[in-house]
Amino acid sequence: MNRIKKIFRYDNVGMLFVLPAFLYMLIFVGYPIVRNIILSFQDVDAGNLVRGTKNFIMFANYSELFKDGVFRTSLWNTLRYTVLCLVFQFIIGFILALFFNQRFTLAKPVRGILLVPWMIPVTVTALMFKLLFATDIGVINYILRSLHIISKNIEWLTTPGSAMFALICANVWIGIPFNMILISTGLTTIPKELYESASIDGANKVQTFFHITLPLLKPTIESVLILGFIYTFKVYDLVYVMTSGGPVNSTHMLSTYSYKLSFEMFKYSKGSAVANVLLVILLIVGIFYIKVTTDGEED
Amino acid sequence: MLFSVISVIILCVLLFPLYWAFITSLKTEQEIFHNPPTFYPHVLNSQSYAAQVETGDFNMFRSFANSFLISVGATVIAVLLAVPASYGIAKYRFKARKVMLLSFLVTQMLPVSVLLTPMFIMFKNMHVYNTWIAAVLADATIGIPFSVLILKNYFASIPKDLEEAAYLDGCNKFTAFIRILIPIAKPGVMVCAIFSFLYAWGDLAYGMTFILDQEKRPITAGIFNFMGQYGTKWSYLTAFAVVTIIPVALIFIFMQKYIVSGMTSGAVKG
């Protein structure tokens, strides 16, 4: 009995170490989440945000959303943007990881420098791509003109379809290093002997890739794709700085539309409802993420 | 040799946007609009940097200082709270452990959109709205969960014997933690500090939403404001961008080994 008591006390000490961080997150993240859910069931605008009575209108904000064309566009945009970004950054990142996995003098230093795009503040990335895709002075239009692919400058950021394309390019640029480095790390965990015995058995490169590399990389690929989905799906800064959802709402994502509703149109409750839709989708994907990252965790 | 050449070509293609922003910041506005574009500045122009030191709403060096203050503040909070928390999670088996660990995992994937309005109301009530404190408090919520999850692996990998040896030498739990465990986990603490700083440095949403006055805003919000008001004054804008990248570049040059560790250990279990 005494021993059990002792163990209990010992473990309580552990909780004291965690408590400050936990309470901080509870106050500044936990409480806001609850508050945001409540907000989405109320009727809050600039007039009654901080003070004043807030009426509960239950699901009115949500049912209004599904009749809202911009919301539907944002939802669809977020989905296709995420999927397209994931496909390209994963494929390019994978190829680069395989490439830098070869033994050559510059492999390590160059791979290191390629991480820089991931570290740069997204606002700056957005600015750089705005410059590249600029209509008159943009270097992309210049290259396309020189190659005689186009005869007239494309207005990338003010034409709906091409604005989305520019956004995806910028996001892929940020995502490549992330995919590359995670897959590189995954590759180093594959025992060399496996490749040696495969080559003794007469397997060619393509066969070893599909029968050894891919199956053994499965856990890495899973976490890369799930994390990539989460990071891309909640994109905010990049779109807000590059297009602000324009032209004519064609590049709005759930996050930017939520921001616009709350902080430009002051429809706080409706903005919260959009944010909650985003949250629910992320949480569903997050369940997979938690499963992948905590698999094999002791107890 | 062939591979090295190819790798340099890949490098040039992928880093071209950075090069382009850098040389644009050194061109005159006239040269920026030159057709065909020039691939290096023919006339060197430092005006875009110099002009902003002196005056104007968009003094980028003041924005830089604001960003620095906010990021350091957020980093200090994140590290101070995450170091003990990750130790507790790694070394003790208490009842709420799983729930707490899970909550750090979940908060790491939250979109800012969910937090902005409630935080906005909260900071107004706390009377910190429109001060750097609001941005610090908000930015720390990005660094804390990341740091806890990274550091718990570092603490978990420290053998129990070391801790027990410290107890024999007369340490109690707290002094053993401070004198023995933290020094061993130092590389992990560095990773956390660097990433907490980078996250806060790159933040736009919090700094823009919780700080109203341009002269108090971080440099990312400064860039965004500038774009809104002056549109496409590219030499100034790219100068802004270059200055924003400086701390990132310094971190990259001097602490590169921590970057790889932080990017990978957060996602793939060790």
Condensed to tens digits (0 to 9), the pLDDT of residues A29-63 reads 999 999 999 999 998 888 777 777 788 888 899 99
Condensed to tens digits (0 to 9), the pLDDT of residues B200-215 reads 999 999 999 999 998 8
pLDDT at A28 exceeding the cut of 50: yes
- Using an 8 Å Cβ cutoff, are A286 and B259 in contact? no
The single-letter DSSP state of residue A115 is T
Nearest by CB to residue B105, choosing from A21, A254, A290, is A290
At residue A298 the predicted structure's pLDDT band, cuts being 50, 70 and 90, is very low
Return the pLDDT at B95.
83
Condensed to tens digits (0 to 9), the pLDDT of residues B189-199 reads 999 999 999 99
At residue A8 the predicted structure's pLDDT band, cuts being 50, 70 and 90, is low
Helix (H) or strand (E) holding A9: helix A2-25
At residue A7 the predicted structure's pLDDT band, cuts being 50, 70 and 90, is low
At residue A3 the predicted structure's pLDDT band, cuts being 50, 70 and 90, is low
Residue B10: other Cβ atoms inside 10 A: 17
Q: What is the mean pLDDT of chain A?
A: 90
In chain B, the residue whose alpha carbon lies closest to the alpha carbon of A294 is: B269
**Whole-number Å distance between alpha carbons of B259 and A236:** 23
Q: What is the mean pLDDT of chain B?
A: 90
Whose CA is closest to A241, among A83, A118, A128, A78? A128
Return the pLDDT at A54.
80
pLDDT at A166 exceeding the cut of 50: yes
- A220 in contact with chain B, both atoms CB, cutoff 8 A: yes
Mean pLDDT of A224-239: 93
Residues 149-168 of A with CB under 8 A from B: none
- Using an 8 Å Cβ cutoff, are A276 and A104 in contact? no
pLDDT at B53 exceeding the cut of 80: no
- A97 in contact with chain B, both atoms CB, cutoff 8 A: no
Whose CA is closest to A130, among A232, A244, A253, A264? A244
Whose structure tokens read 């799983």? B98
Nearest by CB to residue A137, choosing from B33, B115, B241, is B33
**Whole-number Å distance between alpha carbons of A254 and A233:** 9
Residues B270, A228, B83, CA angle at the centre, nearest 5°? 45
Q: Which residues contact A99 (CB under 8 A, 6 or more apart)?
A: B3, B6, B7, B10
At residue A138 the predicted structure's pLDDT band, cuts being 50, 70 and 90, is very high
Is the reported ipTM for this assembly greater than 0.85?
yes
Helix axes B60-91, B47-54, angle to 10 degrees: 90
**Whole-number Å distance between alpha carbons of A62 and A118:** 35
Helix (H, G, I), strand (E, B) or coil at A56: strand
Residues A114, A118, A123, CA angle at the centre, nearest 5°? 130
pLDDT at A296 exceeding the cut of 60: no
Return the pLDDT at A125.
97
- A92 in contact with chain B, both atoms CB, cutoff 8 A: no
With beta carbons under 8 A apart, name residues in chain A contacting B256: 112, 115
Nearest by CB to residue B15, choosing from A11, A116, A142, is A116
Return the pLDDT at A6.
58
Residue B14 CA: distances (Å) to CA of A114, A224, A225, B74, B241: 7, 21, 22, 31, 17
With beta carbons under 8 A apart, name residues in chain B contacting A15: 88, 92, 94-97
At residue B270 the predicted structure's pLDDT band, cuts being 50, 70 and 90, is very low
Residue A185 CA: distances (Å) to CA of A94, A107, A173, A180: 11, 14, 20, 9
pLDDT at A243 exceeding the cut of 80: yes
Contact B7 A294 (CB under 8 A): no
Helices (H), ranges, chain B: 2-25, 29-32, 47-54, 60-91, 97-107, 112-125, 132-156, 160-168, 173-176, 182-184, 186-202, 205-210, 219-230, 234-265
With beta carbons under 8 A apart, name residues in chain B contacting A237: 202, 204-205, 220
pLDDT at B269 exceeding the cut of 60: no
**Whole-number Å distance between alpha carbons of A95 and A184:** 10
Query: Which tokens in the block code for residue B212?
Result: 């109203």
- Using an 8 Å Cβ cutoff, are A155 and A134 in contact? no
Query: Which tokens in the block code for residue B44?
Result: 């060197």
- Interface test with chain A among B6, B7, B142, B264, by most A beta carbons within 10 Å: B7
In chain A, the residue whose alpha carbon lies closest to the alpha carbon of B247 is: A120
Contact A241 B227 (CB under 8 A): yes
pLDDT at A299 exceeding the cut of 70: no
Residues 4-43 of A with CB under 8 A from B: 10-18, 20-22, 24-25, 28-33, 35-36, 39
In chain A, the residue whose alpha carbon lies closest to the alpha carbon of B91 is: A14
pLDDT at B14 exceeding the cut of 60: yes
Condensed to tens digits (0 to 9), the pLDDT of residues A87-100 reads 999 999 999 999 99
Residue A127 CA: distances (Å) to CA of A8, A77, A192, A251, B241: 55, 21, 43, 17, 8
Return the pLDDT at A9.
62
Query: Which tokens in the block code for residue B118?
Result: 């409630």
Return the pLDDT at B250.
95
Residue A197: other Cβ atoms inside 10 A: 12
- Using an 8 Å Cβ cutoff, are B72 and B251 in contact? no
Mean pLDDT of B139-165: 90
Whose CA is closest to A255, among A226, A233, A231, A287? A233
Return the pLDDT at A4.
56
With beta carbons under 8 A apart, name residues in chain B contacting A18: 84-85, 88-89, 97, 100
